[in-house]
Structure 1
Amino acid sequence: MTNPPMRARLWAEFLGTFWLVLGGCGSAVLAAKVLSDDPTPVNMGIGFVGVALAFGLTVLTGAYALGHLSGGHFNPAVTIGAFAAKRIEAGAVLPYIITQVVGGIAAGGVLYLIASGKDGFAIDGTAAGSFATNGFGDLSPNGYSLMAALIIEIVLTAIFLFVILGATDKRAPAGFAPIAIGLALTLIHLISIPVTNTSVNPARSLGVAVFNPAALAQVWLFWVAPIIGAVIAGLTYKFLHAEVPGEEELVRSSAVEDTAAHG
């Protein structure tokens, strides 16, 4: 199958990552907490369960809308894991990652402008999760250590990549990958929001951390851990699903080319 032009693929990655950060982080910044002084349930905010669902929905909708163009990675870790599994060509890896980072920061900027429209808005660099940032130690929502953050981000990113690679495998049922991937990302957030505020996506972490210097100092972990997890998953998946001798090698342009799935 012929890949779409690289320009179209990169625009898809920009828009998809922008949507993921705006939708997911935006739900945390704008809607997670009490919406007004009225204590009725309708004004109590969506909470971290709602935020988890928002991240899953951004991936699901973005994958269906844009996955047929770029594979719908929307995440540098997904791109690197896909490369490790030989699902994307080497020449596309760096352009994808740069585009994803730009899309994430652009979404963070738009979110900052929106949030600044409310009187009294300020990013508290000493508060865990301020402006939907990720962190460990004092910046972990429940005070988890660097080691705990490192482990959970590696493990959950690896599992996320396994779901992506499995759901988009040529042997998997076609057309359902975005649903599996979106639900997996929702579950991942339900598990790890209390620990790190959930990253598993370096572009998502950096996109909001650039507006919070305290979180920016810790963002290195949310690059290192997801990349380690993604490489582990990509190499392991390729090993476990080795091609039958003589079968034509499967080299697709993305983790989701056939089923319009994520990232």
Structure 2
Amino acid sequence: MKKLLAEFFGTYWLVFGGCGSALFAAGYVTPTGVHLGIGFLGVALAFGLTVLTMAYAVGHISGGHFNPAVSFGLWASGRFSAKDLLPYIVAQCVGAIAAAGSLFYIWSGKTGNVIDNTSAGAFASNGFGKFSPDGYSMISCFTAEFLLTMFFLLVILGATDKFANGKFAGIAIGLALTLIHLISIPITNTSVNPARSLSQALFTQGEPLGQVWLFWVAPILGAIVGGLIYKNLLQKTDND
């Protein structure tokens, strides 16, 4: 139960901090017209910092997945038990949805804040085609999510390998997620995390919810391929 609670709180913090920065701070303009928003760079850093901080806070309890795709990738690499997949994914999704609910409650407290589910990035949702921030096709978005999640798993597995310096694993993983967002916010609004995508889409509804399948399939497939690559091609053994 402690492991599942750690995954709940870790995923909650990821969605609350990352999506919250996009909703409240990315494009902030003061009443006098001064632009103080944090932009893409700030949002990318926010996502990375959520993972970095929770990796050190609760990673020693649950392994610090906070992401169904990561759980699948660790399973594919042989580092995670299949029997724990479903409980972890449920805890992650519940944590993400709870965070999205908290964000919606705060966000709706400002007059005029209404979710426009006909526009890209509404309520920090992910999407492709018309719902891609810069209009990228479904194939382009699928490829980006697949490749970025695959490399995310390579970083996670390498940084947490028994031969690596584990003290710095959280930093490497957090910076990797920051880099991933710097690359792909204009493409898909960045997912690489099915729970994060589902939580925002549930509140956005409309086509963003209809497109959420891609942000489950592509990251999970990418994570599994990343896990298999690391296990079979890169993982060092005691005999190497």
Q: By how many angstroms is 1:241 displaced? A: 3.6
Per the alignment, residue 223 of structure 1 pairs with 216
Share of identical aligned residues, percent? Answer: 62
Q: By how many angstroms is 1:39 displaced? A: 2.5
Could you list the runs of 5+ residues in structure 1 that have no partner in the other structure?
1-6, 248-263
Per the alignment, residue 15 of structure 2 pairs with 21
Per the alignment, residue 120 of structure 1 pairs with 112
Q: Provide the C-alpha distance between the structure 2 equivalents of 1:102 and 1:113, rounded to a whole number of angstroms.
A: 16
Superposed CA offset, 1:10-46 (max 9, x none): 0000000000000000000111112323233xx4311
Residue type of the partner of 1:225?
A
Q: Provide the C-alpha distance between the structure 1 equivalents of 2:138 and 2:235, rounded to a whole number of angstroms.
A: 35
Could you list the runs of 5+ residues in structure 2 that have no partner in the other structure?
none
2:232 paired with 1:239:
yes
Superposed CA offset, 1:55-81 (max 9, x none): 000000010000000000000000000
Q: Provide the C-alpha distance between the structure 2 equivalents of 1:135 and 1:197, rounded to a whole number of angstroms.
A: 7
TM-score by length of 1: 0.88
2:12 paired with 1:31:
no
Superposed CA offset, 1:95-154 (max 9, x none): 000110111001000000000000000001111101000000110000000000000000
Count, aligned residues: 239
Q: Provide the C-alpha distance between the structure 2 equivalents of 1:191 and 1:17, rounded to a whole number of angstroms.
A: 22
Quote the RMSD (CA, aligned, Å): 1.4
Q: Flag the 1:51–1:245 CA change in 2: closer, same or farther, 3 A.
A: closer
Residue type of the partner of 2:222?
G
Q: Provide the C-alpha distance between the structure 2 equivalents of 1:144 and 1:174, rounded to a whole number of angstroms.
A: 37
Q: Provide the C-alpha distance between the structure 1 equivalents of 2:79 and 2:150, rounded to a whole number of angstroms.
A: 16
Q: Provide the C-alpha distance between the structure 2 equivalents of 1:224 and 1:166, rounded to a whole number of angstroms.
A: 23
Select the residue among 65, 69, 75 that pairs with 2:57: 65
Per the alignment, residue 196 of structure 1 pairs with 188
Per the alignment, residue 182 of structure 1 pairs with 174
Residue type of the partner of 1:105?
I
Superposed CA offset, 1:152-177 (max 9, x none): 00000000000000000000012000
Q: By how many angstroms is 1:88 displaced? A: 1.0
Q: Provide the C-alpha distance between the structure 2 equivalents of 1:79 and 1:184, rounded to a whole number of angstroms.
A: 17
Q: Provide the C-alpha distance between the structure 2 equivalents of 1:53 and 1:38, rounded to a whole number of angstroms.
A: 27
Superposed CA offset, 1:215-235 (max 9, x none): 111000000000010010001
- Residue 34 of structure 1: SS of its match in structure 2? coil
Q: Provide the C-alpha distance between the structure 2 equivalents of 1:78 and 1:222, rounded to a whole number of angstroms.
A: 13
More helix by share: 2
Q: By how many angstroms is 1:212 displaced? A: 1.0
Q: Provide the C-alpha distance between the structure 1 equivalents of 2:237 and 2:101, rounded to a whole number of angstroms.
A: 48
Residue type of the partner of 1:12?
A
Task: Describe how 1:125-204 pairs up with structure 2 within 5 A.
Answer: 125-204=117-196
- Structure with the bigger RCO (C-alpha within 8 Å, sep 6+) is 1
Q: Flag the 1:152–1:39 CA change in 2: closer, same or farther, 3 A.
A: same
Residue type of the partner of 2:26?
A
Q: By how many angstroms is 1:244 displaced? A: 4.3
Task: Describe how 1:87-126 pairs up with structure 2 within 5 A.
Answer: 87-126=79-118
Q: Provide the C-alpha distance between the structure 1 equivalents of 2:119 and 2:237, rounded to a whole number of angstroms.
A: 52
TM-score by length of 2: 0.97
